[in-house]
Amino acid sequence: MALGKEDIAKRIAKEVKDGYFVNLGIGIPTLVANYVRDDISVEFQSENGVLGMGPFPFEGEEDADVINAGKQTITTLPGASFFDSATSFGMIRGQHVDLTILGAMEVAENGDIANWKIPGKMVKGMGGAMDLVASAENIIVAMMHVNKAGESKLLKRCSLPLTGVGCVKKVVTELAVMEIVPEGFKLLERAPGVTVEDIKNATEGNLIIEGEIPEMVIE
Amino acid sequence: MINKKVQNVEEALQGVANGMTIMLGGFGLCGIPENSIAELVRKGTKGLTCISNNAGVDDFGLGLLLQKRQIDKMISSYVGENAEFERQMLSGELEVELTPQGTLAEKCRAAQAGIPAFFTPAGYGTEIAEGKEAREFNGKMHIMEEAYKADFAIVKAWKGDEAGNLIFKGTAKNFNAVMAGAATITVAEVEELVPAGTLDPNHIHVPGIFVKRIFQGEHYEKRIEQRTVRKR
Q: Which of B103, B171, B229 lies closest to A49 in CB terms?
A: B171
Residues 176-205 of B with CB under 8 A from A: 176-178, 205
Question: Nearest-CA neighbor of B230 among A207, A24, A55?
Answer: A55
Element of type H or E holding B166: strand B166-167
How confident is the model over B39-50, as pLDDT tens digits? 999 999 999 999
Q: Which domains does chain A have, with CATH numbers?
A: 5-208 (3.40.1080.10)
Q: B85 pLDDT exceeds 90?
A: no
Residue B206's closest chain A neighbor by CA? A84
Element of type H or E holding A131: helix A129-135
Residue A113 pLDDT class (50, 70, 90 cuts)? very high
Element of type H or E holding A78: strand A76-82
pLDDT of residue A1: 77
Question: Nearest-CA neighbor of B186 among B177, B194, B195?
Answer: B177
Please check whether residue A21 is in contact with residue A96, taking contact to mean a CB–CB distance below 8 angstroms: yes
Q: Once rounded to an integer, what is the mean pLDDT over residues A45-59?
A: 96
Number of domains composing chain B = 1
Cβ neighbours of residue A154 under 8 Å, at least 6 residues apart? A106, A107, A108, A109, A145, A171, A173, A178, A185, A202, A203, A204, A205
pLDDT of residue B89: 86
* Least confident among A1-10, B23-32, B169-178: A1-10
Share above pLDDT 90 across residues of chain A, in percent, rounded to a whole number: 93
Residue B87 pLDDT class (50, 70, 90 cuts)? confident
How confident is the model over B108-160, as pLDDT tens digits? 999 999 999 999 999 999 999 999 999 999 999 999 999 999 999 999 999 99
pLDDT of residue A120: 80
Residue A219 pLDDT class (50, 70, 90 cuts)? confident
Would the CB atoms of B53 and A85 count as touching at under 8 Å? Answer: yes
Question: Per the residue annotation, which of A6, A15, A43, A47 is the catalytic one?
Answer: A47
Chain B residues with beta carbon closer than 8 angstroms to that of A52? none
B106 lies in some domain: yes
Chain A residues with beta carbon closer than 8 angstroms to that of B31? 65
B112 lies in some domain: yes
Domain containing residue B198: CATH number: 3.40.1080.10
Average pLDDT value over all residues in chain A: 96
Residue A43 catalytic? no
Residue A27 pLDDT class (50, 70, 90 cuts)? confident
Q: How many angstroms away from the CA of B123 is the closest CA of chain A?
A: 6
**Structural domain of residue B46, as residue ranges?**
9-117+149-216
Would the CB atoms of A123 and B128 count as touching at under 8 Å? Answer: no
Higher pLDDT, B120 or B87: B120
B141 lies in some domain: no
Cβ neighbours of residue A197 under 8 Å, at least 6 residues apart? none
Can you tell me whether residue A97 is helix, strand or coil? coil
pLDDT of residue B22: 98
Share above pLDDT 70 across residues of chain A, in percent, rounded to a whole number: 100
Largest CA distance in chain A: 54
B206 lies in some domain: yes
Count contacts between A and B (CB, < 8 Å). 184
Would the CB atoms of B122 and A72 count as touching at under 8 Å? Answer: no
Would the CB atoms of B100 and A129 count as touching at under 8 Å? Answer: yes
| A17 alpha-carbon distance from chain centroid | 15
pTM over 0.90: yes
B2 lies in some domain: no
How confident is the model over B5-18, as pLDDT tens digits? 999 999 999 999 99
B224 lies in some domain: no
Q: What is the ipTM metric for this complex?
A: 0.97
Q: B189 pLDDT exceeds 90?
A: yes
Q: A121 pLDDT exceeds 90?
A: no
Q: Once rounded to an integer, what is the mean pLDDT over residues A50-67?
A: 96
**B227 near A CB under 8 A:** yes
Residue B82 pLDDT class (50, 70, 90 cuts)? confident
